[in-house]
Each structure stands twice: as structure tokens, then as C-alpha cells.
Structure 1
Amino acid sequence: MKGVVVGAGYVGTIAANRLAKKVESAEITVINPRPEFVERVRLHEQIAGTGSAATPLASMLGEGITTRIGTVDKIGDGQVTLDDGTSLDFDHLFLAVGSTVAPLPGTVAVGTWEGAQEARTALAALPGGRTVTVIGGGLTGIETASEIAAGRPDLRVRIVGETIGGSLSAGARKRVRAALARLGVEVVEDAVTRVESGAGEQGGDLVGLRSRPHLTSDLTLWAIIGSIPDLAARSGLEVAADGRAVVDENLRSVTDPRIFVVGDCAAVPGSRVACATAMPQGAHAADTLARMIHNREPEPYSMGYTGQAVSLGRNDGLLQVARRNDTVRGLHFAGRTAAVVKERVCRYAKFGARTATYAWLRGPK
């Protein structure tokens, strides 16, 4: 059996490693744009210079798995074509290209490896007293603003979003704002529609705010997940309105059952963009293919959430408790203990991707 995995983030890596363990005869090739495994949940550390988000991909993949560095241009009838014109045949394929970022001009995207590297370089070059603005009030924006403020107290840090921590409970949002205040982060709850570049390519005036038409910024970071790569649509797979590939209850494309679609690029009802979503999908898809190869009936995909975790610098954090259907409860934990738990969650995700050992809750009935 020839298996191809497109994308080597958390979901692609665990899928490849899990399939290799369960189907010894499988010939598995992983295609990835870069020779590193990138921990997306640590990109804020990469930006602030407080940690590293990259690990050699070869050290993350099991023995016998082939790595191909490149970008897939199209997936055809049992064949993958790369942008260099070469192609690979497959019996089954895992599409795991994740999500991407569409930043406004004049900003640097923080949700990609390339953007994080650019932001890290720009941030390191900023002298004290300058202003850094993070656009995006979700967990990515909160973590980025907190990490920079904690690591560079000589800078003025601002976070802009329609709602800061909108996915959290009211009590958790209040705790996040208190943490940001302690770090000296200015909070602006407003929408940004356009950024005007000033003297530098990554700074200038933020325009389009409803209540504050102009805010000067020396470095503006974009922390909003904006789009899905169009590989699925370009390859003729049925996609939802947001660009995610439509899948059946076993995470297979409804257009081509040889293709499993997992992670951010899969249109799974009730799922959100998160490492906690991707890991179970990658593991389940590999288990499903192994069951099919061994002539066993596949089981429908099921996954339940436990909550959300957010870093507020290296020594503070917050854990939001949620129901399995991902609706938040009025319970959260914060402080040093929450930061330690968040760190362990990040380590477990990497461990799970590398070892293919991962457990998760079943979804709500």
C-alpha cells in the first residue's frame, strides 16, 4: 500500500507515524514545504525570542517513512503532482495542509513559520520605547501580545480586536484583561479594516477603527487565522463555503474516498481550528485506514473537547473548562499552575505526533 501524507504539522505527522505502526507493509511518503516540524502553538515564543518552535522533521517521523521536501500543486486520480513537475502515485492520501493567514498589507502574519521568523527579526531590531501592535483578539493574539510584553518590557505593546478573548467565559475574559494590564498591554476592542504603511514596511497608521481612526505602530503583527489553502478545491474535491474539504463520518473526502482530509482543512461539523482538534483527526484517520486494510469495519469519527488553554507570558496562563461540544463553562483556572499545565499540553502534543500515542474524549451523544 502506497500512502502519501501532504503536510507535516501535528495532524500529518501523527497520521504518518500511526499508520506506519499499524500497517508494517505500508510505503509512506510525507510531503512538506520545509524540513522542519513546526509547533504552531509555540510561534508566539519564536517571535518573542523566548523559545523555539522548530524541530528537524526527520527526528519526528518513524523509521521507514520517506520525506519529500516540496509543495503539492495538485492531487489527481491516484497521483500527486508537485510544483517542480514531479509526481507520486498513491493508493491512499492524507490531506493535512492546515490553515493559513491572509494579513492586511503593512502587517506581519504570526500564524505561519515564515511570518514568525520575519516578526522575530523585526522585533529584535526595535529599540526600546517603540510600539508593537497585535491585531487579533483570539488566543493567538493574546499569547503573542503577552509573550512580547513579558519578554520586552521596554516596548509599548497593544492588542486590537473586536472582542479580546471572545471564545472564553466572562470570568476568564476578565482574568485575561487583568493579566494584560499587569504586563502593560494596551487593549483596544475595535475592528481593523485597513493598515496604512508608514516609514517602515511593517509599521504605520492603523486605520478603519470605529472609535479611534489612527493609531501609530512601529511593528504591526497579524494574529488572525484567515483562510484555507485552496489545494482541495484546485484538485476538484468538494469543499464547503469556507474552503474546507467536505468529508464523511470517517474523515474521507466525499469526492474521492481514497483521500482522508484531516485538521484545519477538513469540514468536520462542530470542530474549530486547534491542535486539540487536529491530533484526534490524524490519529483516527490512520486507524480507519489500518482497519480497512485489515478488512475490519471502520468506526465513525468522534471527538469531544475539554476546554482551552492560553499562555499569558512564561509564568502565567489560563485554562478555560468546556463541555464536550466545546461550549464554555463558567469555570476557569489561572496563574502559575495554569502556565505549567499549558506547557505540558504543548509537550504532550509534540510527544503524541512523534510517538503516535494520543488519547482523546469521544464527542457528545
Structure 2
Amino acid sequence: MKVVVIGAGYAGSLAANRTVRKVRGAEVTVVNPRPDFVERVRLHQRIVGTARAATPLESMLKAGIEVRLGSVEKVGNGAVVLDDGSVLLFDYAFLAVGSTVRPMPGTVPVGTWEGAEQARAALAALPAGSAVTVIGGGATGVETAAEVAEARPDLRVRIIGSPVADGFSHRAFDRIRRGLERLGVAIVDEGATAVTGGRVHLRSGASLASDLTLWGIVSGVPDLAARSGLDVDADGRALVDPALRSVADPRVFAVGDCAAVPGARFACATATPQAAAAVDNLARLVAGRPPEPFAVRYLARAVTLGRRAAVGQLTHRDDSLRRASMSGRPAVALKELASRGGKFGARTGIGG
């Protein structure tokens, strides 16, 4: 049986490795645009040089898994068409292309490997006293602003969001903002409308001088599912049945950020359980058993505030926020455990 996995992020790598473990005799091919597994949760660390964030795929994937470097033009009807015109036939495929970044003109995106490398070079070239602006008040923006401020205390760092840390509540919300302020990060609770001429323009009509403006928002997904004729939602995510199969082509499982799973958010904590559940359903189908529905289950949210601080907030299973939160060493440990766990799951095929 031929299985093609499109994408080698958290969901794709786990799906490939788990398929080898769970589906006897499966011939697995992974298609990815680069030869590395990128830890997107560590890209903010890569920017300041405290983490590598990239690991060769040959050390992430089990023996026997074939890797094809390239981009996919279309998937469906038992075939994956690559950008070089070659075709990979499959019995089943996993669509795991993740999410994407749509940066505002004049900004450098930090949510992609290429953007993080560009930001790293630009940051290293900034002289003391320069102003760095991070647009985005979510986890990516908060972690980026904190990391830059801690690594380069000689810079003036600000974060713009409406409001900053709006994915948290109660004491966690306050702790994150106080943590940013302790690092010297100026908080601007307002939306940005444009970046031109070295200035960030705000909705209020005001503008702020900025020597380097980083885009800290991850939103949207690649258009591969829509381009392939698969059914998608308004955001372009592949519509799936309860077993995570495309409703347009049941031979294609969609997992991770690119899958329209009700109640799911962009996160490796979402991607890895989905990939594990999808592979398990493939194993059930091969064995002649019915697939089982996937259920979203969350435990917590957490953000780092530099290398020595973090804030975590517990959630209900549906990702709604509890009042309980933590900071200090327990929160640092929680966030690091989650980051390492995502890579461990991807490498071993253990997840869920």
C-alpha cells in the first residue's frame, strides 16, 4: 500500500512515522519543500540565536521512509502532482501543510523559517538604541517581543495588538503583560494599519518610528486543498468528516492547521493528536474495521517570556479558559515540556 504525506511539520512527520509503525507493509513517501523539520514553536528563539529550530529530516523520519523535496501542485484522485511535473500515486494520503503567514507589507514575518532567518540577520545588524516593533498580540507576537527584549536590552522594543495577550484571561493576562513590561517591552493596545517609510501607522491615526518591524501573526492556510478541488471552509481549510478524512476524497486525510476540525486552533498541540488519530483510523480501515471519530481535547495554553519566565493558563477540554494559571518555574517547565513533546511525537510517531 502506498501512502504519501504532504508536509513534514509536526503533523506530517508524526503521520509518516506512525504509519510505518501501525500499518504493516505501507510504503511511505514524504513530500516537503525543504530537507529539514522546522520547530515553528522555536522560531522566536532562532531569531535571537538561542535555538536552532531546524533538524534534518533524515534524523526525524524512520528508516524506509522516502523523502521527496518539492512543492505539491495538486492532490486527489489517488495522485499527488509535484511542481516539477512528476506524479506520486497513492492509496491514501495525509494533507499536513500546516498554516501560513500573510505579512503586512513592510514587515518581516517571524512565523516561517525564511522569515525568521531574515529577521535574525536584520536584528543582528541593528545598532543600540534602534526601535523594534512586533505586530501581533497573540502567542507568537508575545514570545517574539519578549525574546528580542531579553536578548537585546540595548534596543527599544514594543508590541502592538488589540489587545496584547488577548488569548489569555484573569491573572494569566495580567502576568503576561507585567512580564513584558519587566523586560522593557512597551505595550500598545491598538491595531496597525500599515507600515511605510520606517513608521508603523495605527488605527487611531498616530504613527510610531520603527527600524525593524516584525509580523508576529500566523493566519490562514496554503491554498493546496482549494486548488486541488477539495471541499474547504471560508478560510481554505479542508473540510473533513469525524474520522479526519476529506469529505470530497476519503482517501485523503487532512490533519493539523490545514484541516477544518471544529473547535481546533493553530497549534502543535492540535496537530499531533489529529495526526495520530488519522493514522489509527487508517490502520482500522486497512484491518477492515470502521474508523473512530476524533475529539478535540485541550489542557492548557502557555507562552514564554524570554528564557527564564513563562505564563500558563489551564483550559477546559474545548479550549475555553479556566481561571487557574501558573508562572515561574512550573510554567517554564510546562512550556518546555510541550515544545519538546511536539518534536518527540513527530520523531517517534507517538502522540494523541
Task: State the TM bucket, normalised to the shorter chain.
Answer: over 0.9
1:205 pairs, out of 195, 199, 208, with 199
Please name the residue that 2:79 is paired with: 79
CA distance in 1, matches of 2:36, 2:208: 37
Please name the residue that 1:201 is paired with: none
Equivalenced residue count is: 352
Structure 1: where are the runs of 5+ without partners? Answer: 199-203, 360-365
Please name the residue that 1:178 is paired with: 178
Alignment of 1:101-180 (within 5 A): 101-180=101-180
Instruction: Say if 2:39 and 2:343, in contact at 8 Å, map to a contact too.
Output: yes
Secondary structure of the residue aligned to 2:173 is helix
Alignment of 1:1-365 (within 5 A): 1-196=1-196, 198=197, 204-207=198-201, 209-211=202-204, 213-359=206-352
CA distance in 2, matches of 1:225, 1:351: 23
Amino acid of the structure 1 residue aligned with 2:114:
E
Amino acid of the structure 1 residue aligned with 2:240:
V
Q: CA deviation at 1:212?
A: 5.5
Q: CA deviation at 1:21?
A: 0.4
**Any idea what the Cα deviations from partners look like across 1:313-356, whole Å, max 9, x if unmatched?**
00000111111111101110001331122112111111111111
CA distance in 2, matches of 1:339, 1:150: 15
CA distance in 2, matches of 1:206, 1:40: 26
**Any idea what the Cα deviations from partners look like across 1:207-251, whole Å, max 9, x if unmatched?**
1x1335110100000011122111000000000011111000000
Runs of 4 or more off by more than 2 Å in structure 1? none
Q: CA deviation at 1:167?
A: 1.2
CA distance in 1, matches of 2:314, 2:134: 26
The CA RMSD measured in Å over matched residues stands at 0.9
Amino acid of the structure 2 residue aligned with 1:250:
A
CA distance in 2, matches of 1:154, 1:226: 31
CA distance in 2, matches of 1:19, 1:43: 28
Q: CA deviation at 1:81?
A: 0.8
Structure 2: where are the runs of 5+ without partners? Answer: none
Secondary structure of the residue aligned to 2:122 is helix
Q: CA deviation at 1:159?
A: 0.3
